[in-house]
Amino acid sequence: MDWEPATADDQVAGVPARFVAAPASTAEAAEVLRAAAAQDLAVVVRGGGTKLDWGMPPRRLDLIVDTHRLTGVVEHAAGDLITVVRAGTPLSELDFGSQQLALDSPLPGATIGGSVAANVSGPRRMLYGTARDLLIGITVVRPDGTVARSGGKVVKNVAGYDLGKLFTGSHGTLGLITECAFRLHPVPPARAVVTRTVPAAGVGALLTAVREEQVVPSAVEVDRPPGGEVTVAVLVEGTAEGVRDRAARLEKVLGGHSGDLPSWWGAYPWQPGGTGLKLTAALSKVPDLVGAAAETGIRGSAGTGVLYASVASSEDAPRLVERLRAEAVRAGGHAVVLTAPAEVREAVDVWGPVPGLELMRRVKDQFDPGHHFAPGRFVGGI
């Protein structure tokens, strides 16, 4: 297959590539990677290009493997509630009729492969889980060009190691994902969102009240603009009768009202080119974290303890990142700078402390002994 010379746009976090290859199949991808390995090329995988500025810049870069030709739904077995999708398929193009892949995509244009590799998630992770929970099978091409598969096309399956989980969130450092099998969910016929805006001090009580009420929300989101009050928004999905009843109960316990999804729903709070953080917390500490983020603002899944914050000014970034990280750690979680301008990335610890790093290095050494794939992009310089 053909490789193209890179153009000025073919950069990864500011590092220019020399070539671009766009395989259209797993076999072609294997061929590309075998050749790249033989030439000792450093490789970064690109899907929709929505997260190329995430993580650290690659230490070196020769080849971008672009998945835009690796697209399409291979199989949709409606009766079995599963699908097999090629990695380059944009999430927004998936249409399974009365069924859905319940993976929210905060960044328009993101592909399946990119979403899995970066482990992105949105509000409905509370009910449906994240990519790791929905993924039931994966086909990858290892950096040496070996094609490997794990899992399968049935939801229930414990044969062999679950490499799908290992590749989920690996940020392209272990190999190229070419196909993913997912479990699907029925599209619920009805939904409702109940919102209430309160001062930050009142968030804890609201979240507890929602939890006490056994209404099984699909999402419990919070949004706090810098210096502002906190909006709590709860999504319920189900049958028309069920949703009516559940929403009414939520209105009562929240003292809020039902309406449509708020405009900020499922979107990251930062602008392109800005500094964005992912903050996690134990559930009971989410109100503390929300309370501590007055200066930057905060948004995200209060129902699972995964939130996002934006740092507007680059000058303040190191101080604010450290403060938010301290708060997140105090809340039992972590703070990761997902994206930031070059000057911020250089000034802060993007990934923060990572437990089990030694084992992770050993995993990397096994899968990518030549450190060809996205070198330096991931935790601990992996």
How far, in Å, are 44, 216, 290, 335 from residue 271 at the CA level? Answer: 24, 32, 20, 19
Residues 6+ apart with CB under 8 A from 214: none
Collapsed DSSP state (helix, strand, coil) of residue 370: coil
C-beta separation of 170 from 117 below 8 A: yes
Q: Which two tokens stand for residue 266?
A: 């499922």
Q: How far is the CB of 345 from other proteins (least distance, A)?
A: 15
Beta strand 15-16 pairing with 63-66: unpaired
Tokens 């991808």 belong to residue: 29
CB atoms within 10 A of CB 238: 19
| Contact with other proteins (CB under 8 A) among 24, 73, 74, 154 | 154
> With CB under 8 A as the contact rule, which of the stretches 104-112, 225-233, 260-268, 333-341 interacts with other proteins?
333-341
Q: Is 278 in the site for other proteins (CB under 8 A)?
A: yes
Q: Is 73 in the site for other proteins (CB under 8 A)?
A: no
Q: Is 35 in the site for other proteins (CB under 8 A)?
A: yes
Q: Is 282 in the site for other proteins (CB under 8 A)?
A: yes
Binding mask of the shown chain, residues 185 to 224, with x at each position contacting other proteins by CB under 8 A: xxxxx------------------x--xx-xxx--------
Q: How far is the CB of 8 from other proteins (least distance, A)?
A: 17
Q: Which two tokens stand for residue 77?
A: 């077995």
C-beta closer to other proteins: residue 70 or 136: 136
Largest Cα–Cα separation, the chain: 65
Q: In the range 160-189, which residues lie near other proteins by CB under 8 A?
A: 160-163, 165-166, 168-170, 174, 185-189
C-beta closer to other proteins: residue 144 or 229: 144
Q: Is 355 in the site for other proteins (CB under 8 A)?
A: yes
Q: Is 82 in the site for other proteins (CB under 8 A)?
A: yes
Q: Where are the alpha helices (DSSP H) in 129-215?
A: 131-134, 163-167, 203-212
| Contact with other proteins (CB under 8 A) among 68, 69, 119, 258 | 119
| Contact with other proteins (CB under 8 A) among 24, 147, 267, 347 | 147
Residues 6+ apart with CB under 8 A from 254: 194, 195, 196, 206, 209, 210, 232, 234
Q: How far is the CB of 110 from other proteins (least distance, A)?
A: 17
Q: Is 16 in the site for other proteins (CB under 8 A)?
A: no
> CA quadruple 89, 91, 93, 99: dihedral positive or negative?
positive
Q: How far is the CB of 363 from other proteins (least distance, A)?
A: 4
Residues 6+ apart with CB under 8 A from 362: none
| Contact with other proteins (CB under 8 A) among 48, 238, 276, 297 | 238
Collapsed DSSP state (helix, strand, coil) of residue 375: coil
Q: Is 351 in the site for other proteins (CB under 8 A)?
A: yes
Q: At 285, which helix (H) or strand (E)?
A: none
CA distance 235 to 218: 5
Q: Is 352 in the site for other proteins (CB under 8 A)?
A: yes
Q: In the range 247-276, which residues lie near other proteins by CB under 8 A?
A: none
> Taking CA 50 as the corner, what is the angle to CA 44 and CA 53, rounded to the nearest 5 degrees?
60
Q: Is 7 in the site for other proteins (CB under 8 A)?
A: no
Q: How far is the CB of 48 from other proteins (least distance, A)?
A: 21
CA-based nearest residue to 311, from 302, 300, 324, 301: 324
Q: Is 354 in the site for other proteins (CB under 8 A)?
A: yes
Q: In the range 89-108, which residues lie near other proteins by CB under 8 A?
A: 98
Q: At 15, which helix (H) or strand (E)?
A: strand 15-16
C-beta closer to other proteins: residue 188 or 226: 188
> With CB under 8 A as the contact rule, which of the stretches 7-15, 234-242, 253-261, 311-319 interacts with other proteins?
234-242
Q: Is 281 in the site for other proteins (CB under 8 A)?
A: yes
The residue count for binding other proteins (CB under 8 A) is 103
